[in-house]
Amino acid sequence: MNYFRTAILLAGLTALFMGIGFMIGGGSGALIALVVAGGMNLFAYWNSDRMVLSMHGAQEVDARSAPDLYAMVAALAQRANLPMPKVYIMDNPQPNAFATGRNPENSAVAVTTGLLQRLNEDEVAGVVAHELAHIANRDTLIMTITATIAGAISMLGNFALFSGGNRNNGMGMIGTLAMVILAPLAAMLVQMAISRTREYAADRLGAQISGQPLALASALAKISSLAHAIPNDTAEQSPATAHMFIINPLSGERMDNLFSTHPAAENRIAALQQMAGASGRPFLPQQGGRGGPSGGPWGSASRRSGGSGPWG
């Protein structure tokens, strides 16, 4: 059902893009808009991952530079039957993470130093498993296409305003102005609706990959609390990438409505608790920050103090 809903929303977004093209140039304008959308998506397909990682200053790490994190990602990727993604660390105090890439064979998982410093090992594993779920579900490609089309709609809307639109479409200047205002808003709502749908699916699959839904629930609680207390300057400068993170990195009030890029953390946590309860496991909030339990299946938890070592 989630995939069907996502397909419908993507189709609506594409139709909206073509509608603005029609408003500007009639039938030929709609066709040109479709061709432009295809070209933009093709460019995004091949280059979006590098662009997003560069925006957030992510640095690639390996088994030598970040052995614990790398071993964790490798173990979880194996559990999920996924190729080993590239692993990146962002020097950012806000705990957060995202995944990117056009397919599982060309994917990457990026986590912040704040995430590695403030969450325990099981919680970090839950977050990484969530991001691997996005890769497995092909969400990284879906969200890239969505962001590209949404951005193009805003660009076309502005062009329609300055060009005066298609004078033969019967809308007139007032109709054109209304379209300029409403079309980007509609695109934003569709983009957010798609993102919210995919987050619930990634939580569910991520909990299955890690085998610890309560650890992921605890991670979401911590990240949600800290994300609004610790600014993420790079995300504020590139707000179009906010929907890619596990928790919205932008400052602002958390609300589970159409104007939120993510479902409310409380709702996601409740769903994970219900998932754990269905398997007969009681809810035990994960206590403590960095350091956490060691000796788990993710490799040694030899986290160092002072922000150095493999955990940033």
Paired tokens of 39: 């070209």
Q: Which residue has the higher pLDDT, 72 or 12?
A: 72
Q: Tell me, yes or no, whether 288 lies in a domain.
A: no
Q: Tell me, yes or no, whether 298 lies in a domain.
A: no
Q: If you average pLDDT over every residue of the chain, what do you get? A: 77
253 is known as an active-site residue: no
Task: Indicate if the pLDDT at residue 185 is higher than 50.
Answer: yes
Is the CB of residue 66 less than 8 Å from the CB of residue 303?
no
Paired tokens of 312: 């940033």
Question: Residue 47 has what DSSP assignment?
Answer: H
Strands of 97-103's sheet in order across: 58-61, 86-90, 106-112, 97-103
Q: Tell me, yes or no, whether 78 lies in a domain.
A: yes
Paired tokens of 276: 């754990």
Domain that holds residue 116: 2-282
Q: Tell me, yes or no, whether 287 lies in a domain.
A: no
What is the rounded average pLDDT of the residues 52-79?
96
The span from the CA of 281 to the CA of 153, in Å, is: 46
Question: Residue 20 has what DSSP assignment?
Answer: H
**Which of 18-22, 109-113, 191-195 is most confident?**
109-113
The span from the CA of 209 to the CA of 275, in Å, is: 13
At residue 19, the 3 state secondary structure works out as helix
Q: Tell me, yes or no, whether 306 lies in a domain.
A: no
Is the CB of residue 109 less than 8 Å from the CB of residue 132?
yes
| Alpha helices (runs of H) in the chain, residue ranges in sequence order | 2-55, 67-79, 113-118, 121-136, 139-163, 172-210, 213-227, 233-237, 265-278
Could you say which of 60, 105, 123, 131 is catalytic? 131
Q: Tell me, yes or no, whether 289 lies in a domain.
A: no
Q: Tell me, yes or no, whether 310 lies in a domain.
A: no
At residue 103, the 3 state secondary structure works out as strand
pTM above 0.85, yes or no: no
Digit-coded pLDDT (tens) for 18-61: 776 776 666 776 677 667 766 766 776 677 788 889 999 999 99
Q: Tell me, yes or no, whether 37 lies in a domain.
A: yes
What is the rounded average pLDDT of the residues 4-15?
66
Please choose, from the candidates 145, 142, 196, 119, the residue with its C-alpha nearest in 3D space to the C-alpha of residue 40.
Answer: 145
Please tell me the total count of domains within the chain.
Answer: 1
Digit-coded pLDDT (tens) for 129-147: 999 999 999 888 777 666 6
pLDDT for res 173: 57
pLDDT for res 251: 74
Digit-coded pLDDT (tens) for 262-288: 888 999 999 999 999 875 444 343 444
